[in-house]
């Protein structure tokens, strides 16, 4: 399941739109102004002067196109997020949409999110999160019926340890085996998010609270009962009580 996004434009599209704008502006300055100054290129009206500017303009336009596509993608992703009402809706997404929705849910929790596209069926990193100077990895498994076993969680922990990140999140639309949960508790650096937890997470990202069953009221079948006190001997209301 190779899902590498290799082109520079793809990278800009999957980053926040303002990143593309900043890269374009600084890139243009480096190519058209700073580079020629460092290399000692004379500023004249000749072709040597126009070539760096032309390259800089092309780079800036490319970055602005990527930023525009990123902004459009963020808008469409937000609309897609609004359509998710239950775990069944989430399980019906494609794997690309699933990873993007998970990323958007983390973004709403205050993380800076970068989608990497994963690195394969095992041990791949789908999202990179940053917050408060810390770095986290996320692996997504869109499994509807299967349980994630301890092997997958152990491999994910191995990637985290090798790259020295602060923690990780393993997200699935299904469930985990008891051994997988036990391993996550022991290592203390992986948070397991299963189907029900993911549903709550997505609903909260939409600004909704998870649905709760209403409190059932006693069934009276339309009958009303008079509970006014009566005399235990004469069965009359208080005002009619006599010395009986």
Question: 137: which residues sit within 8 A by CB, 6+ positions away?
Answer: 125, 127, 128, 129, 156, 159, 160, 163, 165, 167, 168, 169
Predicted structure pTM score: 0.68
* 212 pLDDT more than 80: no
Pick the CATH number of 87-205 from 3.40.50.20, 2.40.50.100, 3.40.50.1820, 3.40.1350.10: 3.40.1350.10
Whole-number Å distance between alpha carbons of 173 and 110: 22
* 46 pLDDT more than 60: no
Q: What angle (nearest 5°) sits at the alpha carbon of residue 133, between those of residues 82 and 198?
A: 30
- Per the CB < 8 A criterion, the answer to whether 193 and 98 are in contact is no
Residue ranges, CATH 3.40.1350.10, the chain: 87-205
Assign 135 to helix, strand or coil. Answer: strand
pLDDT digits (tens, 9 = 90+) for 82-125: 888 888 899 889 888 999 999 999 998 899 998 886 544 434 79
* 41 pLDDT more than 70: no
Average pLDDT, the chain: 79
Interval 49-76 mean pLDDT:
88
Q: Which of 22-26, 113-117, 240-244 has the lowest mean pLDDT?
A: 240-244
Question: 83: which residues sit within 8 A by CB, 6+ positions away?
Answer: 89
pLDDT digits (tens, 9 = 90+) for 144-177: 667 899 999 999 999 999 999 999 999 999 999 9
């Amino acid at each position: 399941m190779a899902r590498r996004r290799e082109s520079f434009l793809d990278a800009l599209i999957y980053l926040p739109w303002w990143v593309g704008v900043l890269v374009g502006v600084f890139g243009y300055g480096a190519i058209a102004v700073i580079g020629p100054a460092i290399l000692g290129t004379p500023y004249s009206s000749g072709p040597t002067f126009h070539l760096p500017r032309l390259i800089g303009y092309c780079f800036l336009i490319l970055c602005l196109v990527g930023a525009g596509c990123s902004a459009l993608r963020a808008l469409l992703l937000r609309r897609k997020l609004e359509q998710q009402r239950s775990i069944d809706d989430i399980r019906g997404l494609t794997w690309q949409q699933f990873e993007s929705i998970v990323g958007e849910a983390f973004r709403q929790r205050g993380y800076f999110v970068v989608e990497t596209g994963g690195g394969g069926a095992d041990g791949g990193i789908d999202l990179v999160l940053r917050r408060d100077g810390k770095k986290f990895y996320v692996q997504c498994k869109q499994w509807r019926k299967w349980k994630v076993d301890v092997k997958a969680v152990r491999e994910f922990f191995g990637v985290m340890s090798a790259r020295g990140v602060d923690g990780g999140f393993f997200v699935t639309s299904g469930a985990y085996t008891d051994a997988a949960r036990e391993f996550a508790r022991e290592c203390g650096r992986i948070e397991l998010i299963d189907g029900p937890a993911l549903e709550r997470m997505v609903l909260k990202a939409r600004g909704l609270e998870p649905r709760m069953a209403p409190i059932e009221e006693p069934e009276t079948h339309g009958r009303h009962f008079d509970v006014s006190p009566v005399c235990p001997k004469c069965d009359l209301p208080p005002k009619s009580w006599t010395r009986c």
